């Protein structure tokens, strides 16, 4: 007998403006929120964009801080916090990827001031109440509604400058959010719809991006998919895939999106027998009978690493990953044991799927 439907669904508050050129309306959005002294945040590489955004904000911009870094180091948060305090700022506008938005979230957490996000990658952090902070080499994460950006402006024109290989791995990072949402213990029909559509959009657009890197319609589809996948990440509990990427990234300081790109097909392969409904969705979204191979095919076109070995992980280090993954229980559709996890990691380490 088939099971009848049962679920819980609470949507995160989200206020999104999406469209090419939508950065032009940022000042109106900020003014409508009643904010009067905002600090624009970016990484050093995106400082020119931060200057441009401050120019667009005009008298609403109190200043800029352009030293955001990957994994939100506490020293950077302290430094940015002193800038926020000195300027008497009432909000942040984070312009960039997950690293910059992560800094905005850390400041929201500390000062209870809102963050407006202008994402320029496909990582999806702007759609989640999850914050991260790295202190003494240890990354802590938590959930707090206060860090969820009060406004998100998605302007695909800003992603035209994202280097192609980073675009590909960032897109795969987004797909990974939706894949895990499909087998999450707290999944629901709404999330499943968003997840499937998000994967379909990105998987369809990535091969197009290779052919037409400057096509704004392709960039727009990628960002649309990233929005949906980010919303899935924000709405569900993540499972083994995010756990493994978090451990690998934190322990060996690996690049975030590339790690996701390598590990994803192996976790799909691993969970496939225990997540039949998720596999149906993935087959539909990827247009293939074998979702793990579908992901491998999708990334094959791009010059990105395809094994943990290539990323510099030593074979002997897999034991540390296994110990860390088994030390705190984590949601996953298939039971994780030392033996089967070793099998998964061995395959990801050697790049068995190609
Ligand atoms: P990133 O923010 O670190 O950006 C990577 C590099 O690309 C940076 O140098 C950045 O300046 C540059 N860049 C970004 N957009 C660009 C553009 N359009 N043109 C040119 N250069 C551009 O990378 P990311 O993958 O977006 O974020 C990774 C971080 O986000 C990790 O620390 C991860 O843990 C975090 N994250 C958090 C969540 C969450 O929900 N809290 C979700 C996803 C990712």
Q: DSSP letter string over 173-239?
A: HHHHHHHHHHT-TT--HHHHHHHHHHHHHHHHHHHHHHH-TT-HHHHHHHHHHHHHHHHHHHHS---
Q: What band does 2 get if pLDDT is binned at 50, 70 and 90?
A: low
List, for residues 76-128, the tens digit of each pLDDT value: 999 999 999 999 999 999 999 999 999 999 999 999 999 999 999 999 999 99
pLDDT exceeds cutoff 70 at 1: no
Alpha carbon nearest to ligand 1 atom 2, residue: 97
List, for residues 205-236, the tens digit of each pLDDT value: 999 999 999 999 999 999 999 999 999 999 99
What count of Cα atoms within 13 Å lies in the side-chain half-sphere of residue 110? Answer: 19
Quote the ligand 1 centre to 97 CA distance (angstroms): 3
Alpha carbon nearest to ligand 1 atom 29, residue: 98
Alpha carbon nearest to ligand 1 atom 42, residue: 125
Which pLDDT belongs to residue 347?
Answer: 98
| For the CA of 46, the nearest atom of ligand 1 | 11
β-pairing, 138-143 vs 130-135, is antiparallel
Higher pLDDT, 49 or 135: 49
Quote the ligand 1 centre to 158 CA distance (angstroms): 13
The 3-state DSSP class for residue 147 equals helix
| For the CA of 43, the nearest atom of ligand 1 | 11
pLDDT exceeds cutoff 90 at 253: no
Average pLDDT over residues 31-50: 98
What whole-number distance in Å separates Cα of residue 120 and Cα of residue 57?
Answer: 18
List, for residues 262-306, the tens digit of each pLDDT value: 999 999 999 999 999 999 999 999 999 999 999 999 999 898 999
List, for residues 111-120, the tens digit of each pLDDT value: 999 999 999 9
pLDDT exceeds cutoff 80 at 7: yes
């Amino acid at each position: 007998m088939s099971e009848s439907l049962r679920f819980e669904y609470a949507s995160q508050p989200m206020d999104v403006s999406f469209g090419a050129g939508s950065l032009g309306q940022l000042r109106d959005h900020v003014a409508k929120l009643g904010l009067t002294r905002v600090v624009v945040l970016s990484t050093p590489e995106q400082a020119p964009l931060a200057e441009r955004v401050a120019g667009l904000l005009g008298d609403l911009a109190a200043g800029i801080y352009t030293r955001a870094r990957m994994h939100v180091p506490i020293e950077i948060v302290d430094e940015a916090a002193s800038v926020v305090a000195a300027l008497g700022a009432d909000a942040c506008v984070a312009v960039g990827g997950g690293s910059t938005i992560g800094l905005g979230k850390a400041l929201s957490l500390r000062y209870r001031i809102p963050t407006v996000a202008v994402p320029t990658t496909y990582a999806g952090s702007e759609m989640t109440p999850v914050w991260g902070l790295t202190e003494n080499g240890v990354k802590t994460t938590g959930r707090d509604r206060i860090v969820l950006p009060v406004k998100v402006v998605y302007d695909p024109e800003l992603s035209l400058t994202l280097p192609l290989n980073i675009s590909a791995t960032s897109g795969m990072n987004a797909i990974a959010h939706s894949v895990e949402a499909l087998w999450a213990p707290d999944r629901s029909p709404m999330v499943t719809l968003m997840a499937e559509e998000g994967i379909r959009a990105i998987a369809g657009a990535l091969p197009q991006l290779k052919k037409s890197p400057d096509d704004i319609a392709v960039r727009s589809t990628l960002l649309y998919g990233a929005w949906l996948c980010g919303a899935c990440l924000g709405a569900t509990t993540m499972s083994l895939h995010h756990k493994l990427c978090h451990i690998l990234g934190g322990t060996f300081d690996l690049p975030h999106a590339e790690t996701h790109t390598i590990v994803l097909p192996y976790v799909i392969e691993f969970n496939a027998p225990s997540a039949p409904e998720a596999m149906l969705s993935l087959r539909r979204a990827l247009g293939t009978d074998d979702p793990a191979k579908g992901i491998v095919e999708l990334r094959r076109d791009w010059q990105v690493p395809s094994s943990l070995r290539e990323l510099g992980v030593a074979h002997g280090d897999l034991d540390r990953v296994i110990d860390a993954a088994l030390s705190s229980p984590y949601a996953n559709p298939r039971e994780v044991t030392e033996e089967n996890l070793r099998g998964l990691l061995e395959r990801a380490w050697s790049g068995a799927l190609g």
